[in-house]
Structure 1
Amino acid sequence: MSGILGYMGKRNAIPILLEGLEQLSYRGYDSAGIAVFSEEKELQIRKAVGRINQLRNFLLHEPVKPGNSGIGHTRWATHGVPSITNCHPLTGCGEQFIVAHNGIIENFPQLRRTLLQEGHIFSTDTDTEVIPHLLEKYDTGDLEQTIREILPLLRGSFALAIMSKAQPQVIVGVSQDNPLVVGFGKSESFLTSDITALLPYTRETYPIKNGEIAILEPEKVTIKSTAGEVREPKRTIVEWNVQDVSLQEFEHYMLKEITEQTKSVEDTLAGRISEKGIVLPELDPLLLAGSLSKITRVHIIASGTSYHSGSIGKKVMDQLLNIPVETSYSSEFQYDHPPLDEQTLIIVLSQSGETADTLSALREAKRFQSPIIAITNTPGSTVSRKADSTVYTKAGPELAVATTKSYTCQITVLIMLAIWLAEKLGSRDLHPLPELMTELKRLPEYVDSTLIMTQDAIDQFAQVTYDQEHLFLIGRGLDYVLALEGALKLQEVAYIHADAYAAGELKHGTMALITPGVPVIALATQNQVMDKLISNIKEVKARDAFVVGITTIGDELLSEVVDQVLYIPNSHPFLMPILAAIPLQLLAYYSGTVRGHDVDRPRNLAKSLTVE
Structure 2
Amino acid sequence: MSGIVGYIGERSAQTILINCLMNLEYRGYDSAGLAISNRHHIEMRKEKGRIQDLEASIQLDPMTEGSLGIGHTRWASHGTPSATNSHPLTDENEKFFVVHNGIIENNHQLKKSLIADGYVFTTDTDTEVIPHLLAKYDTGDFKETVRMVLPMLKGSFALAIMSQSDPGTIIGISQENPLILGYGEREAFLSSDISALLSYTKEIYPIKNDQMAILKEGNISIETLDGTQVHPEKASIDWDETEFELHQYDHFMLKEILEQPTSIQQTLENRLEDGHVKLPELEAFFEEHDLHAFRKIDIIGNGTSYHSGMVGKSILSKMINLPIEVSISSEFTYEHGALDDSNLIIILSQSGETADTLSALKEVQSYGAKTIAITNNNRSNIARKADCTVCTNAGLELAVPATKAYTSQITALLLLAISLTEKLEGPGAKDIPELVDALTDLPNVVDQSLVMTQDAIDRFAQVTDDQDHLFLMGRGLDYVLALEGALKIQEVAYLHADAYAAGEVKHGTMALITPGVPIIALSTQPHLREKMVSNIRELKTRDAYVVGVTTVGDVEIGEVVDQVLYIPEAHPFLMPIVAAIPLQLLAYYAGTVRGYNVDRPRNLAKSLTVE
Using the size of structure 1 for normalisation, the TM-score is: 0.98
Matching residue of 2:400? 401
* 8 Å contact kept, 1:459–1:586: no
CA distances 1:420-470 after superposition (whole Å, capped 9, x unpaired): 000011202421111111111000110111111101312332233121010
2:520 paired residue number = 521
Aligned-residue CA RMSD in angstroms? 1.1
- Give the drift of 1:379: 2.0
Spell out the pairing of 1:267-346 with structure 2 (5 A cutoff). Answer: 267-346=266-345
Residues 3-18 of structure 1: matches in 2 within 5 Å? 3-18=3-18
Moved more, 73-82 or 470-479: 73-82
Output the CA distance in 2 between the equivalents of 1:15 and 1:464: 45
Cα contact 1:373–1:389 (8 A) shared by 2: yes
In structure 2, the residue matched to 1:458 is 457
Secondary structure at the counterpart of residue 431 of structure 1: helix
Distance 2:138 2:195 in 1: 34
1:179 is matched with 178
Cα deviation digits, residues 36-60 of structure 1 (max 9, x gap): 0126x22111111011111111112
Q: Once structures 1 and 2 are overlaid, which stretch shifts more, 158-167 or 138-147? A: 138-147
Contact 2:27 2:74 in 1 (8 A): no
The answer as to whether partners of 1:463 and 1:594 remain within 8 angstroms in 2 is no
Q: Show the 5 A alignment for 1:510-589.
A: 510-589=509-588
Aligned residues of 1:187 and 1:220 also touching (Cα < 8 A): no
* 1:459–1:215 distance in 2 versus 1, CA, 3 Å: farther
The 1-side partners of 2:143 and 2:247 are apart by 42
Q: Which runs of 4+ in 1 moved over 4 A?
A: none
Question: Does 2:506 align with 1:507?
Answer: yes
Whole-Å Cα distance in 2 between the matches of residues 292 and 131 of structure 1?
47
Determine if contact 2:296/2:322 at 8 Å carries over to the other structure: yes
Measured in 2, the distance between the counterparts of 1:105 and 1:291 equals 40
1:423, 1:510 → 2: CA distance?
A: 42
Partner of 2:425: 426
1:191-237: CA deviation from partner (whole Å, max 9, x where unpaired):
11111111111122121111111111223321111111111212221
One-letter amino acid of the counterpart of residue 322, structure 2? I
> Equivalent residues in 2 for 1:586-601 (5 A)?
586-601=585-600
Counterpart for residue 361 of structure 2? 362
Q: Alpha carbons of 1:185 and 1:459: their partners in 2 closer, same or farther (altered >3 Å)?
A: farther
- SS of residue in 2 equivalent to 1:548: strand
Partners of 1:80 and 1:124 within 8 A in 2: yes
SS, match of residue 210 in structure 1: coil
In 2: Cα distance, 1:503 partner to 1:276 partner: 36
- Alpha-carbon distance between aligned partners in 2 of 1:382 and 1:274, rounded to the nearest angstrom: 30
2:221 maps to a residue whose letter is T
Q: Counterpart of 2:61?
A: 62
Contact kept in structure 1, 2:38 and 2:167, CA below 8 Å: no
> How far has the Cα of 1:291 moved from its partner?
4.4
1: CA distance between counterparts of 2:92 and 2:64?
A: 24
Query: 1-side partners of 2:362 and 2:337: how far apart?
Result: 15
Gaps of 5+ in 2: none
Q: Cα distance 1:291–1:34, how it changes in 2: closer, same or farther (>3 A)?
A: farther
Q: Letter of the 1:480 partner, please give it.
A: Y
2-structure distance, mates of 1:214, 1:349: 30
Tell me if 1:32 matches 2:49. Answer: no
Name the counterpart of 1:205: 204
Q: How does 1:80-479 map to 2 (within 5 A)?
A: 80-479=79-478
Deviations 1:85-127 (A, max 9, x none): 1111011021111100111111111111111122212221211
- Cα distance in 2 between the residues matched to 1:407 and 1:144: 43
Report if the CA contact (8 A) 1:503-1:536 is conserved.
Answer: yes
Q: Answer whether contact 1:48 1:84 (CA < 8 A) is retained.
A: yes
Name the TM-score, length of structure 2 as normaliser: 0.99
The alignment partner of 1:163 has SS state of: strand
Q: For residues 547-579 of structure 1, what are the alpha-carbon distances to aligned partners after superposition, in whole Å with 9 as ceiling and x for unaligned?
A: 111111111111101111111111100001000
Q: Which amino acid in the other structure matches residue 57 of structure 1?
A: A
Matched position secondary structure for 2:205: strand
Q: What is the alpha-carbon distance in structure 2 between the residues aligned to residue 418 and residue 193 of structure 1?
A: 33
Structure 1's 429 and 23: CA in aligned 2 closer, same or farther, altered over 3 A? closer
Instruction: Read off the aligned partner of 1:110 and give its amino acid letter.
Output: Q
Report the AA paired with residue 68 of structure 1. Answer: S
- d(CA) in 1 for partners of 2:58, 2:223: 36
**Residue correspondences, number:** 611
Distance in 2, matches of 1:194 and 1:466, equals: 38
Query: Unpaired segments of 5 or more residues in structure 1?
Result: none
Counterpart of 1:70 in 2: which secondary structure? Answer: strand
**For each residue in 1:500-523, what CA deviation from the matched residue of structure 2 results, as whole angstroms up to 9, or x when unmatched?**
000000000001111111111111
How much does 1:168 deviate?
Answer: 1.4
Amino acid at match of 2:38: S
For residue 276 of structure 1, report the CA deviation from its aligned partner.
5.0
C-alpha displacement of 1:285: 1.8
Contact 2:29/2:51, CA 8 A, preserved across alignment: no
Aligned equivalents of 2:91, 2:74: Cα separation in 1: 18
> Within 2, Cα distance between the matches of 1:338 and 1:160?
36
